[in-house]
């Protein structure tokens, strides 16, 4: 009898340096747990995230991708997250249209003081991805496999 191996989701979290990454830090130093399945990639600003980064994360095997930045109006570079918000809105909607379940992508605004929100968000997101299972649709969009 084979032992069913537990699905360990691979999750990429892009966090802006000024708010969300500091929020993650605070979560850590406050000993608020979040699953080790979340791999954080620090970016200077949410706006630095080229839509191709999100696609590349999926192509490399991510099951879910989340982008965290400063709250609207609080971006260190004033307007970065406003542009990022439009881009991600359109990109995620397009991915949904292609059949990539919408729960696999998420944007959340997390400030440097919101360690609790960071850990809650990550716990929720990992749960969501666990329920969706492995992502098999964005390896090769040409659908060769």
Partner 1 sequence: MQELVNRAKALLADGTVQRVLGWKMGDLAYNPEPAFFENEEALSDFVYNSFCGANLSKYMIEASKKEGKTLVFLKPCDTYSFNQLLKEHRILREKAYIIGVGCTGKISGERIKEAGIRGIIAVEGADAFAPAETLQVKTLYGDREIAYKDAMLERCHVCKGKEHKIYDEIIGESRDTADSDRMEKVREIEAMSPEEKFAFFQNELSRCIRCNACRNVCPACSCRKCVFDSTKFDSAQKANVDSFEEKMFHVIRAFHVAGRCTDCGECSRVCPQNIPLHLFNRKLISDINEFYGEYQAGEDDTTVGPLTAFTTDDIEPSDARERG
CB atoms within 10 A of CB 47: 19
Footprint on residues 33-52 left by ligand FES (CB under 6 A): 45-47
Query: Which burial class, exposed, middle or buried, applies to 66 when counting CB atoms under 10 A from its CB (0-12, 13-18, 19+)?
Result: buried
Shortest distance in whole angstroms from residue 85 CB to partner 1: 6
Question: Which residues here bind partner 1, judged by CB under 8 A?
Answer: 51-52, 55-56, 59, 72-73, 79, 82-83, 85-102, 105-107, 137-144
Q: Which listed residue (11, 12, 13, 16) binds ligand FES by CB under 6 A?
A: 16
What span, in angstroms and rounded, lies between the C-alpha atoms of 88 and 67? 9
46 binds, among ligand FES, partner 1, none (CB under 5 to 8 A by kind): ligand FES
100 binds, among ligand FES, partner 1, none (CB under 5 to 8 A by kind): partner 1
Shortest distance in whole angstroms from residue 1 CB to partner 1: 30
Please identify, using beta-carbon distances, which residue of 30 and 39 lies nearer to partner 1: 39
* H-type alpha helices, the chain: 20-29, 51-59, 80-97, 115-132
What order do you get walking across the sheet with 11-16 strand by strand? 38-43, 11-16, 64-69, 105-109
């Amino acid at each position: 009898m084979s032992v069913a191996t537990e699905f360990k989701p691979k999750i990429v979290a892009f966090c802006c340096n000024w708010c969300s990454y500091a929020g993650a830090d605070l979560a850590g130093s406050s000993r608020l747990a979040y699953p080790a399945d979340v791999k954080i990639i620090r970016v200077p600003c949410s706006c630095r995230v080229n839509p191709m980064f999100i696609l590349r994360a999926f192509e490399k095997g991510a099951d879910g991708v989340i982008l965290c930045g400063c709250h609207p109006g609080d971006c260190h570079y004033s307007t970065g997250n406003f542009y990022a918000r439009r881009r991600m809105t359109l990109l995620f909607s397009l991915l949904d249209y292609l059949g990539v379940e919408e729960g696999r992508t998420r944007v959340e605004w997390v400030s440097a003081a919101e360690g609790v929100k960071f850990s809650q968000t990550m716990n929720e997101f990992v749960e969501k991805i666990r329920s969706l299972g492995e992502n098999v649709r964005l390896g090769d969009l040409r659908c060769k496999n």
